[in-house]
Homo-oligomer: A and B are copies of this chain.
Amino acid sequence: MSVEVIAVGGYQEIGKNMTAVKVGADVVIFDMGLDINKLKLRVNQDISRLHSLDLIEDGIIPDDTLMRDVDGKVKAIVCTHGHLDHIGAISKLAHRYDAPIIATQYTLKLIEQIINEEKKFKVNNSLQLLNPGEKYQISPYLVLEFIRSTHSIPQSVIATLHTPEGIVIYANDFKFDNHQKISSPPDYNRFLELGRKGVLTLITGSINIDNKSQVKNYSEIVAKMILDDILKNSLRDEIGLIVATFASNIERIQSIVDIARDSGRKIFLLGKNMDKYCSLAVDMDLLDLPKKSKIYGNPNDVDKALAKVEYKRDNYLIITDGHQGEHTSLLPRIANGKTPFNIQKHDVVVLSAPVIPTQNNIANRNLMERRLLGCGARIYPNAHVSGHACREDYRDFIQMLNPAHIIPTQGNLRMLSAFAELAEEEGYKMGKDVHVLRNGQAQVFDGGV
């Protein structure tokens, strides 16, 4: 029985992740995501009424039309976590396959929302919960297992497919963080066990692989430390105070909230995304907010909240996103004076998020920062740690799993090549047992481990 790894999306870019693994006649799809940078190039970002073929042509979702030529049947669609570059194309592509969508609870709820917002297609696939540490029989000889992992969103997993020819591991987007409050550390022991059992191939993300200044990921607890030092004085001063971060980074938001808990300031989580990700996290007991905190997603509610902050700015802490400076987000709108809250001299804005380095983001962010500075704000621009493993973490991972083959994914050619070079340092050889694929190509393993 041959195993075939088919690179559908994410092998020439960061984003629109989708990989199919075919074992005999059964196919399992891992992730169905958006290319968010490409999406942003469209003026109108609402894609709920667009057809998948148009989105494929624009490069926004994976080109899964090649699946027609795959001689097999899709048995499951597996999503490893709830970021849009991993689940955002579900609403456009999943209905073509008669297969359940399998994910953890937090991820499933986000998938449900996406399906509900979709206006073009009717997505009827069943949603199947699988918890970290649990297994699921996909077909007579295929078993899926979710392994506990850490990332920058709750309930992230590393997916493992047990096949007759050996184990296939799909680990796209993870970090090794031993100090998160919401998520337990990754299940290293299971990695070691699988390594001993025999891993046929590791399919692994490549983000940060060519970061030379940082070779091991920092824990979220480092971000909390840094934020604590920044916020300690600011919480006490008679100033306005805004912290911007990713709405889905519940661990980070928990850190901010915990730092501010005893400050006397009331916490407002503002904006559509904050509402989407945080309300869900609160409902699922993942995020623990002080009693008087409020989450507002509706624009009118947000404006009312901001009016209160304007009236007595040192009574509140605003948490929002918009750190990329997109014109329609709340923080840029505040910077542009388009909300009831006006930045004053000495107000503090903490950007607990990086600039995702596209030229557009850099320009938007820069413009926003200049406007905030123009109003007199103090900006702390980089109170952040990455959610992705770094070079030496990947090396640790390879050593733990000892896979027969490695297929790097989620990166452009330079990044995949850099991963191949790391693998060569660990004794692999490009073209022999580490494989750089392009979208649309496949790697076939005939022998097994």
Contacts from A to B (Cβ < 8 Å): 41, 178, 212-216, 218-219, 221-222, 225-226, 229-230, 232-233, 359-360, 362-364, 366-367, 378-382, 392, 395-396, 413-414, 417-418, 420-421, 424, 429-431, 436-438, 441
A226, B230: Cβ atoms closer than 8 Å: no
Cα(A114)–Cα(B367), bound, Å:
29
Report the copy number of this chain in the oligomer: 4
Contact B219 A229 (CB under 8 A): yes
Q: Is the CB of B378 within 8 A of A395?
A: yes
Q: CB within 8 A of A359: which of B232, B362, B438?
A: B362
- Per the bound structure, the CA–CA distance linking A219 and B364 in Å amounts to 31
User: What are some 30 contacts across the A-B interface (CB < 8 A)?
Assistant: A212-B381, A213-B382, A215-B380, A215-B382, A216-B226, A216-B229, A216-B380, A218-B229, A219-B229, A222-B222, A222-B225, A222-B226, A360-B363, A360-B366, A362-B362, A362-B363, A378-B395, A380-B392, A413-B420, A413-B421, A413-B430, A414-B414, A414-B417, A414-B418, A417-B417, A424-B438, A429-B438, A430-B436, A430-B438, A431-B441
Known: A214-B382, A222-B222, A378-B392. A229 touches B413 (CB 8 A): no
8 tightest Cβ-Cβ pairs between the two chains A and B: A363-B363, A359-B366, A359-B363, A413-B417, A417-B417, A360-B363, A430-B438, A222-B225
Bound Cα distance from A424 to B440, whole angstroms: 13
Nearest opposing residue in chain B for A230, CB measure: B216
CB distance from A346 to the nearest CB of B (A): 9
Q: How far is the CA of A229 from the CA of B176 in the complex (A)?
A: 10
Name the distance in Å between A42's Cβ and chain B's nearest Cβ: 12
Determine how close the nearest CB of chain B comes to the CB of A140; give it in whole angstroms.
Answer: 33
List the B residue with the shortest CB-CB distance to A438. Answer: B430
> Nearest CB to that of A429 among chain B residues?
B438
> Which residues in B have their C-beta under 8 angstroms from that of A424?
438
- CB neighbours (8 Å) of A381 from chain B are 212-213, 215
Given A219-B229, A359-B362, A360-B367, 7 new contacts (CB under 8 A): A216-B380, A218-B229, A221-B225, A225-B225, A362-B363, A378-B395, A424-B438
Contacts of A420 in B (CB 8 A): 413
Taking a contact as CB atoms under 8 Å apart, the answer to whether A233 and B362 are in contact is no
Contact B218 A226 (CB under 8 A): yes
* Cα distance A214–B421 in the bound complex, in angstroms: 27
Q: How far is the CB of A393 from chain B (nearest CB, A)?
A: 10
Chain B residues with CB below 8 A from A229, complex form:
178, 216, 218-219
Residues of B within 8 A of A367 (CB): 41, 359-360
Docked CA distance A362–B364 (Å): 11
Residues on the B chain within 8 Å of A214, using CB: 382
